[in-house]
Structure 1
Amino acid sequence: MTKTPGRKPITTPVEVAAFRPPKGRNKARRLVRSKHGNGLALEARADREAKSWLYRFNIGGKQFEMTLGAYPAMGLREARDAHGEAAKLVAKGIDPRKHRKAEKARNISAWTMDQAFDRWIEFYAASPGRRGGIPSPRTVMKQRGRWRVHLQKHLGGAYVRDITRRDLIDIIERVASRAREEARQCLSLLRQLLDYCEEREQIDSNPAAGLEPSKVKARPSRPRERYLKFKELQELWLALGQAAVRGGEGDRQRLTASVSNAVKLLILTGARRSEVAKMRWCEVDADAWVIPSSRMKAGVEHRIHLSKPAQMILEAQKDQVSGEYVFESNRLEGRPIHPDSITTAVARLQGRELKELDSDAPLFHLEHFTTHDLRRSVATLWTDVFQADPLLVDAMLAHAPPKLLGTYNKGKRYRMQVNVWNRWGALIDGNEVPGGNVVPLRG
């Protein structure tokens, strides 16, 4: 590369900014000093503001030239770094121009984590699990939520190939500081996602492989054991009825009739809050509520017997709603109540809806309990009061049965479940006394 006579190589950013072609010339080049050796130069043209960083090199006795970048987008330091990278390749006999083209093609075919997640979630939603069923829409929605809330901000724009084990540890520990169970679920999601990427040759190995929840503070806390005794459930039942009719626009303890009845049905059936909140009239057939597989956590259709008190709740709801949902939102016509409304109702009756506790709430005096504790309470009381077989209770709660029991004598076992639901409804309704004339219900 020809050096301009009488001009020293550029050494400072000020000289880079001031460099212009001499008067009467359309372009000019000037060497640039670099610790990586010779060959770096700056070219300026009279008809454009930007300047070009050039590198001239020799391979196999032939001289070549390439553009490293443009000033001011690439400053002097960045130009020297690019020169150093190119010079290393030349020292190995590699043409940096061809290497750049190959790297560009590799980048085009490489996935970002956002792109990988979009591909994986479609694959995940259509792939049968260990029990043979595909994930329910609710499960898929939860995975999307975890990605959006906990992971996307930190990982979304990065290339899959650049993700390191250290990156994953930092992110999962950050999630674990807020919610340990969610951190465990996020780690499971990342393992599956990166396995998917490994199988499609986006990475050589999965950086999440072998990463245990306990190593990243994601082991869930000890399972809750709180359950309500029958007397406490009676207090809740009474409070639900009073809160549904309480007046006053500013009354924090007031509940809509739909939400109050939804909590009551949850107590009568032991169903999950989402299953109750989104209950449809088309799922009810006389004294049976058949929840389709698409709405079940395990992806298997579930049948619940409706006791007399449960049927009375549905009759009351017919006067409250006009659409397809049994528990319709009072804000969004034609839409069901949100599952969180049930959680809010339970918290409100305990005075725990807001950060500031409400000691005037009707159930403030009870030991704190959650919505899911109600499901545990129902299961415990079915076992303790009616001596129902735990496996029978698991079936009533739609827990996955042991393999040998999954297809065994379903008809007989459902009749036994009906017996428990009817007696439970009578107990809640005040027509049966706990502990009196208990008949063992063994499977």
Structure 2
Amino acid sequence: MAKLIVPLTPKQIDNTKPREKKYSLFDGGGLYIEVAPTGSKLWRMKAKLNGKAVQLSFGKYPDISLAQARKKRDEARKLIAEGIDPREEKKARIEAEKAKTEHTFEKVARDWHTSRLPEWQPVTARNTLNRLELDIFSILGNQPIADITHQQIIDVLKTIEARAAETARRLKSTLGRIFSYAVQRGVIKHNPIPDLIDVLNKVNKQHFAAIKPEELPAFLKALDGNRERLFIPTRIAVNLMMLTFVRTSELIEAEWSEIDLDNGVWIVPWQRMKMGRRKINPDTTDHRIDLPKQAIDLLNELKTITGNSRYLFPGQRDHSKHMSNNTILMALKRMGYKGKMTGHGFRTLAASALEEIGYRREVIDRQLAHKERNKIQAAYFRAEFIKERKELLQAWADYIDSRRTGKVLNLKRA
């Protein structure tokens, strides 16, 4: 007959005195308290798991009360009945809690950021981290990423949207990548960002300001009428950007070593082109510009001013650096075209006018150095269209002259 165990009472445990050797007081169901010679009292439990004896420890008394110890015993018995070792379950629970504490949003975000560095340009890496530090880490950074709720993300994004809608949209995309990274690393099971489809107001895509071809005569009049207010290199820069419709960075960073005035050719090294700056699969094709006569005249004039410098357009204060990218915008502002025209707008203007004249879109796109849209077009665009592009650039320069003088030219292609 099994020995009857009388359940313990708190008073009984409190009155228990230490002995020369440790001894135990049993509560039933395998639970007992072990009293050490030092007087410390430790809750333990005897049980069998898959036919083998196991011993569990629940902590010290009175840190763990009698009621708490009994609750732990009952929980352990349920696990054992399901064939689960309570020791392994406790270990897994501790590890999970530790992981939650270690995997804060900021730590995971910084790990993700580090993982992207090989593919990013330095400016992209810097801007991404700066935006997270400014808008996200101060609010969500110390929180375990697994505990972040949809509502918390919504609140953060809506606060940012009230200040800067485009920033909120970009940060939402960044958050989506961070949570996706956490899913792939096994830190969380679900990426909450795809659920937030309609959280932010739709942003109308803003295109770079650009004048239309019919507005060109007034623009040219303003440009020529501000000769006294513009430095000669600045005036030439605006005209060259209009004639060649290169990107602003491609113009202001241009070096005299790239220009062959004798043959009227400007070769922009692929490393300076937009698609050449990519770390992954950069386009290593140099960009060729067959300079129209008007551009050659401007460059000859410019060479008498900056020909001894490395750059076509050296900085006004520091000649070892190139012109600031704000110089073109400031010139347009002086002309009265703030918000109406941008450096990129010259590309839009040229593309619109040249298509109206009758040039093929693929030739225009090749001269614009646009990204090839798919593999089929990529193979097709490998044709350089050198002859047509040279003709296109000269026709464009002549078109600009006709708008400047009012002389009517029939540039329509058959």
Is the structural similarity TM-score above 0.5? yes
Give yes or no for the alignment of 1:383 onto 2:355: yes
1:60 alignment partner, SS class: strand
Alpha-carbon distance, 1:417 to partner: 1.8
Residues 163, 414 of structure 1: alpha-carbon distance in 2 compared, 3 angstrom cutoff: farther
Residues 171, 382 of structure 1: alpha-carbon distance in 2 compared, 3 angstrom cutoff: farther
Residues 439, 242 of structure 1: alpha-carbon distance in 2 compared, 3 angstrom cutoff: closer
Give yes or no for the alignment of 1:418 onto 2:390: yes
Residues 351, 414 of structure 1: alpha-carbon distance in 2 compared, 3 angstrom cutoff: closer
Q: Which residue of 1 aligns with 2:35?
A: none
Residues 143, 393 of structure 1: alpha-carbon distance in 2 compared, 3 angstrom cutoff: farther
Residues 64, 193 of structure 1: alpha-carbon distance in 2 compared, 3 angstrom cutoff: closer
Give yes or no for the alignment of 1:183 onto 2:168: yes
Determine the C-alpha separation between the residues in 1 that align with 2:58 and 2:323: 74
Alpha-carbon distance, 1:380 to partner: 0.9
Summarize deviations over 1:78-119 as a string: whole Å, max 9, x none. Answer: xxxxxxx999978845899978964674267x3444443444
The one-letter amino acid of 1:346's match is L
The one-letter amino acid of 2:268's match is V
Residues 304, 87 of structure 1: alpha-carbon distance in 2 compared, 3 angstrom cutoff: farther
The one-letter amino acid of 1:350's match is G
2:323 alignment partner, SS class: coil
Q: How does 1:74-85 map to 2 (within 5 A)?
A: none
Are the aligned partners of 1:57 and 1:90 in contact in 2 as well (CA < 8 Å)?
no
Are the aligned partners of 1:237 and 1:264 in contact in 2 as well (CA < 8 Å)?
no
Among 310, 313, 320, the alignment partner of 2:306 is: 320
Determine the C-alpha separation between the residues in 1 that align with 2:310 and 2:135: 34
Determine the C-alpha separation between the residues in 1 that align with 2:385 and 2:188: 50
Residues 225, 87 of structure 1: alpha-carbon distance in 2 compared, 3 angstrom cutoff: farther
Give yes or no for the alignment of 1:245 onto 2:228: yes
Give yes or no for the alignment of 1:342 onto 2:328: yes
Q: Which residue of 2 aligns with 1:271?
A: 246
Are the aligned partners of 1:278 and 1:336 in contact in 2 as well (CA < 8 Å)?
yes
Determine the C-alpha separation between the residues in 2 that align with 1:89 and 1:316: 89
Q: Which residue of 1 aligns with 2:115?
A: 123
Determine the C-alpha separation between the residues in 2 that align with 1:145 and 1:337: 26
The one-letter amino acid of 2:411's match is V
Q: How does 1:219-258 map to 2 (within 5 A)?
A: 219-224=202-207, 227-230=210-213, 232-240=215-223, 243=226, 245-246=228-229, 255-258=230-233
Among 292, 304, 314, the alignment partner of 2:270 is: 292
2:364 alignment partner, SS class: helix
Q: How does 1:386-397 map to 2 (within 5 A)?
A: 386-397=357-368
2:377 alignment partner, SS class: coil
When Rg is computed on C-alpha atoms for both structures, the one with the higher figure is 2
Alpha-carbon distance, 1:153 to partner: 4.3
Q: How does 1:14-413 map to 2 (within 5 A)?
A: 58=43, 60=45, 64-65=59-60, 92=75, 102=95, 105-106=98-99, 110-127=102-119, 139-140=124-125, 143-144=128-129, 146-147=131-132, 150-212=135-197, 215-224=198-207, 227-230=210-213, 232-240=215-223, 243=226, 245-246=228-229, 255-286=230-261, 287-293=265-271, 295-297=273-275, 299-300=282-283, 301=285, 303-305=287-289, 306-318=291-303, 319-320=305-306, 323-350=309-336, 352=338, 368-384=340-356, 386-403=357-374, 404-408=376-380, 410-411=382-383, 413=385
Residues 88, 187 of structure 1: alpha-carbon distance in 2 compared, 3 angstrom cutoff: farther
Q: Which residue of 2 aligns with 1:14?
A: none
Higher share in helix: 2
2:287 alignment partner, SS class: strand
Summarize deviations over 1:282-303 as a string: whole Å, max 9, x none. Answer: 4445512324245415743451
Determine the C-alpha separation between the residues in 2 that align with 1:434 and 1:351: 24
Residues 240, 178 of structure 1: alpha-carbon distance in 2 compared, 3 angstrom cutoff: farther
Residues 234, 289 of structure 1: alpha-carbon distance in 2 compared, 3 angstrom cutoff: farther
Are the aligned partners of 1:66 and 1:97 in contact in 2 as well (CA < 8 Å)?
no
The one-letter amino acid of 1:389's match is R
Are the aligned partners of 2:210 and 2:340 in contact in 1 as well (CA < 8 Å)?
no
Are the aligned partners of 1:321 and 1:328 in contact in 2 as well (CA < 8 Å)?
no
Alpha-carbon distance, 1:244 to partner: 5.5
Are the aligned partners of 1:136 and 1:294 in contact in 2 as well (CA < 8 Å)?
no
Determine the C-alpha separation between the residues in 1 that align with 2:45 and 2:216: 87
Determine the C-alpha separation between the residues in 1 that align with 2:379 and 2:97: 56
Alpha-carbon distance, 1:156 to partner: 4.2
Q: Where do 5+ consecutive residues of structure 1 fail to align?
A: 6-55, 69-84, 128-134, 247-254, 353-366
1:209 alignment partner, SS class: helix
| CA-based RMSD | 4.4
Percent identity between matched residues is 21
Determine the C-alpha separation between the residues in 2 that align with 1:292 and 1:312: 25
Comparing 158-167 with 93-102, which one deviates more in the overlay? 93-102
